[in-house]
C-alpha cells in the first residue's frame, strides 16, 4: 500500500481547533476527516485567522502582513523536509471577503503544488467599502485556485461568472459523519408537537434569526406546541427576552456539545425551526435531517442546498416572520406530512450527504490533480 500524500490544510475563517463551536469549525474538521478517508494525510498548516468582522482596513492590512510572514516560515519549513514529506497540495477551507487566504497562494507557488479551495464565495459588491482590501485578497486567492469545491448552488453562480480558464469547479455538497452520532432510531412521538432550535446566541444574524422565530411563534399560540432551544452565547439575555412572552412553552437547554446528548434532542423533535438569516447553509440542518427531523427554515444563502423544499422540509421567504408563522401553522396541523418529510430527510442524508460520499468525490478529484496538473483542467 502506497503512503498517503501529505496535504496542507488551512481554514482562515476558523481553525478546526478553535475553542468555540460553530458550523465552520465542524466543517473544517469534517473536511480533514474526509481527506484522510480519501487517501490523503492532511495536517493543519497554520492557525492564523484572517477574519475581520467589522471591516477595519488597518486590521486587514495587519493580517495580511502576518500571513506573509507565516507563508515565508512555511515555505522554509516545507523545503527543509524530505520530498515525500512535503505537501502534495494546499487545501483551504472557506475563502470570502471577510476571511481571505493570503498564505496558501504564496506557499503553493513557491512549492509548485496545486492550490485548492473548498467553499469559496465571490461578492462583487464588496469590491468597494470597508472590506475592499480583504475582498481583493480573497479574489486573488480564488483566481489562483486550480480547483474550487462548490458547496452550494448560490456560490456556484458567482464562481462560474468569474472562473479563470485554468480552474475547475466541482460540487461538494455539505455533509456529516454518521460515525460521530448514535444510530438513529424510529420516531414515535405522540405528544404535542415538539419544535427544536440549535444555534449560538450572538449579535448579528443569529440574534436576528431568534427574533424572527419568536415573532413567528407568537402568531401561533392558539396551537399546541413546545420549543427546545439548544445554545448559549453573549446574547443569551436578549434571546431569553424575545421568548419570555411565550412562558414555559419554550425551554432553554444551554450549550450541548456531547453528540449523544444533542442526538436525543434531534430524535425527540417533530420539526427543526430556524429562520437562518444569512446562513451559509447550516450544519445543524443536516444533523436534524439525519435523525429524521424535517426542517422549516428561511430560504437564505445556501440553505436550499441542504433542505429540499417540499421533500425534506419547508423553506420560507427570507426574513419574513409572517411567512414563517404560516408555514409553521401548516406543518403543525399535518402530523402525517411531518412524518413523511422526516422519512425523506433521513433517506436524503443517508444516501447523499455522508462523509464517505464526500471522500469519494475528494479522492477522484484530488488524485487527478496531484497526478497531472495539465490533465486536470481537461478532465472537467
Entry pTM = 0.92
Q: What is the reported pLDDT for 107?
A: 98
Alpha carbons 118 and 122: distance in angstroms, whole number: 13
Residue with cell 490533465: 375
% the chain with pLDDT above 70:
96
Q: What is the largest CA-CA distance in the chain?
A: 69
Average pLDDT, stretch 298-325? 97
**The pLDDT of residue 207 is above 80:** yes
Q: What is the reported pLDDT for 379?
A: 39
Q: What is the reported pLDDT for 15?
A: 95
Query: What is the average pLDDT score of the chain?
Result: 94
Report, at the CATH architecture level, how domain 5-175+354-379 is classified.
Answer: 3-Layer(aba) Sandwich (3.40)
Average pLDDT, stretch 182-206? 87
Kindly write down the DSSP assignment for every residue of 139-158, as one continuous string: HHHHHH-SEEEE--HHHHHH
Average pLDDT, stretch 90-114? 98
Beta strands in the chain (DSSP E): 5-10, 40-44, 89-95, 115-120, 147-150, 168-171, 194-198, 226-230, 250-254, 271-274, 295-298, 313-316
Q: Are 42 and 36 in contact (CB under 8 A)?
A: yes
Q: What is the reported pLDDT for 2?
A: 65
Model confidence pLDDT, tens digit, residues 133-182: 999 999 999 999 999 999 999 999 999 999 999 999 999 999 999 999 99
**The pLDDT of residue 41 is above 60:** yes
For residues 373 and 163, the model is more confident at: 163
Q: What is the reported pLDDT for 13?
A: 97
Q: What is the reported pLDDT for 21?
A: 85
Q: What is the reported pLDDT for 380?
A: 37
Q: What is the reported pLDDT for 371?
A: 67
**The pLDDT of residue 190 is above 50:** yes
CB atoms within 10 A of CB 139: 21
Q: Is the dihedral of CA 302, 308, 310, 313 positive or negative?
A: negative
Q: Please, which pLDDT band fits residue 189 given cuts at 50, 70 and 90? A: low
Rg (CA), the chain: 22
Model confidence pLDDT, tens digit, residues 232-267: 999 999 999 999 999 999 999 999 989 999 999 999
% the chain with pLDDT above 90:
91
Domains 5-175+354-379 and 179-352 belong to one CATH topology: yes
CATH of 179-352, one of 3.30.505.10, 1.10.10.60, 3.40.50.2000, 3.40.50.720: 3.40.50.2000
Model confidence pLDDT, tens digit, residues 55-77: 999 999 999 999 999 999 999 99
Q: What is the reported pLDDT for 376?
A: 37
Q: CA 296 → CA 248, 256, 291, 339, 359, distances in Å?
A: 22, 21, 15, 13, 29
Average pLDDT, stretch 277-305? 96
Contacts 24+ apart (CB under 8 A), 74-82: 74/8, 74/45, 74/46, 74/103, 74/107, 75/106, 75/107, 75/110, 75/111, 78/8, 78/107, 78/111, 79/110, 79/111
Q: Are 376 and 99 in contact (CB under 8 A)?
A: no
**The pLDDT of residue 32 is above 60:** yes
**The pLDDT of residue 279 is above 60:** yes
Non-local (6+) Cβ contacts of 162 within 8 A are 122, 139, 142, 143
Q: Residue 226's beta-bridge partner residues? A: 194
Q: For residue 95, which phi and psi values (nearest 5 degrees)? A: -115, 125
Average pLDDT, stretch 100-112? 98
**The pLDDT of residue 221 is above 70:** yes
Q: For residue 143, which phi and psi values (nearest 5 degrees)? A: -65, -35
Q: Are 316 and 310 in contact (CB under 8 A)?
A: no
Domain borders along the chain are 5-175+354-379, 179-352
Kindly write down the DSSP assignment for every residue of 221-239, as one continuous string: TTS--EEEEE---TTHHHH
Q: What is the reported pLDDT for 377?
A: 37
**The pLDDT of residue 313 is above 60:** yes
Q: For residue 79, which phi and psi values (nearest 5 degrees)? A: -65, -25
Q: What is the reported pLDDT for 186?
A: 67
Question: Cell triple for residue 147?
Answer: 480547483
Amino acid at each position: 500500500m502506497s503512503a498517503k500524500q501529505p496535504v496542507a490544510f488551512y481554514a482562515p475563517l476558523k481553525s478546526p481547533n478553535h475553542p468555540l463551536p460553530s458550523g465552520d469549525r465542524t466543517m473544517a474538521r469534517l473536511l480533514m476527516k474526509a481527506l484522510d478517508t480519501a487517501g490523503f494525510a492532511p495536517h493543519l498548516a497554520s492557525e492564523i485567522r484572517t477574519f475581520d468582522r467589522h471591516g477595519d482596513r488597518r486590521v486587514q492590512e495587519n493580517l495580511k502582513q502576518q500571513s506573509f510572514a507565516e507563508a515565508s516560515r512555511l515555505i522554509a519549513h516545507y523545503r527543509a523536509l524530505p520530498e515525500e514529506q512535503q505537501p502534495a497540495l494546499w487545501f483551504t477551507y472557506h475563502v470570502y471577503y471577510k476571511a481571505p487566504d493570503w498564505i496558501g497562494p504564496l506557499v503553493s507557488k513557491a512549492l509548485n503544488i496545486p492550490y485548492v479551495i473548498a467553499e469559496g464565495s465571490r461578492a462583487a459588491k464588496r469590491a468597494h467599502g470597508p472590506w475592499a482590501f480583504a475582498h481583493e485578497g480573497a479574489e486573488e486567492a480564488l483566481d489562483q485556485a486550480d480547483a474550487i469545491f462548490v458547496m452550494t448552488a448560490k456560490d456556484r453562480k458567482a464562481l462560474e461568472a468569474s472562473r479563470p480558464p485554468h480552474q475547475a469547479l466541482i460540487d461538494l455538497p455539505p455533509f456529516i459523519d454518521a460515525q460521530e452520532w448514535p444510530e438513529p432510531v424510529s420516531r414515535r412521538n405522540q405528544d404535542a408537537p415538539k419544535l427544536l432550535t440549535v444555534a449560538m446566541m450572538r449579535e448579528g444574524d443569529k440574534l436576528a434569526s431568534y427574533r424572527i422565530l419568536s415573532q413567528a411563534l407568537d402568531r401561533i399560540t392558539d396551537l399546541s406546541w413546545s420549543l427546545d432551544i439548544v445554545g448559549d452565547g453573549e446574547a443569551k439575555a436578549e434571546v431569553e427576552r424575545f421568548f419570555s412572552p411565550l412562558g414555559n412553552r419554550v425551554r432553554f437547554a444551554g450549550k450541548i456539545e456531547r453528540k449523544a446528548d444533542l442526538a436525543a434532542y434531534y430524535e425527540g423533535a417533530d420539526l427543526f425551526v430556524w429562520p437562518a438569516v444569512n446562513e451559509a447553509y447550516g450544519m445543524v440542518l443536516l444533523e436534524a435531517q439525519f435523525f429524521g427531523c424535517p426542517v422549516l427554515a428561511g430560504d437564505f444563502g445556501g440553505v436550499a442546498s441542504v433542505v429540499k423544499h417540499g421533500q425534506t422540509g419547508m423553506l420560507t421567504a427570507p426574513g419574513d416572520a409572517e411567512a414563517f408563522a404560516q408555514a409553521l401553522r401548516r406543518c403543525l396541523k399535518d402530523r402525517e406530512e411531518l412524518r413523511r418529510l422526516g422519512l425523506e430527510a433521513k433517506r436524503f442524508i443517508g444516501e447523499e450527504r455522508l462523509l464517505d460520499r464526500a471522500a469519494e468525490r475528494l479522492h477522484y478529484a484530488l488524485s487527478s490533480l496531484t497526478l497531472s496538473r495539465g490533465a486536470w483542467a481537461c478532465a472537467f
